[in-house]
Amino acid sequence: MSRKATLMTAAAVAVAALVAGLAYWLAQPSYDDIVKGCKSALAAQGDREGKGKPAACDEVRADDYDALVLDAALNHLGWTDKDGNFDKQKMIDSLDDQP
């Protein structure tokens, strides 16, 4: 095999590896996608009164996870409006309904 053919083969393999690596990297979910998945998992867990950290939240940073848990709890209690914002009146009304 000539030197030119060897260099061309090596270059082709390098380009193929680069393309494969780029495709793999692009196929990975973004951090925002991971957080959205965690939020959905926490909402589903609250609906079935589950406990513990869902596997979908394993890659979420601790401070973000804490905020997501609080958000899920407020939503589960019905203390948020249709946009997910805290609604003080809904909280007061739900506490007034307690026996």
- Quote the CA–CA distance of 16 and 8 in Å, as a whole number: 12
Q: Is 20 a domain residue?
A: no
**Mean pLDDT confidence for 1-26:** 88
Q: Is 18 a domain residue?
A: no
| pTM tops 0.85, yes or no | no
Instruction: Give Cα separations from 46 to 57, 61, 62, 66, 98 (angstroms).
Output: 14, 20, 19, 15, 20
Length of the chain: 99
Q: Is 89 a domain residue?
A: yes
Q: Is 16 a domain residue?
A: no
Domain assignment of residue 87, given as a range: 30-96
Count: domains in the chain: 1
Q: Is 8 a domain residue?
A: no
Q: Is 78 a domain residue?
A: yes
Give the pLDDT confidence score for residue 47 in this predicted structure: 66
Q: Is 58 a domain residue?
A: yes
Q: Is 17 a domain residue?
A: no
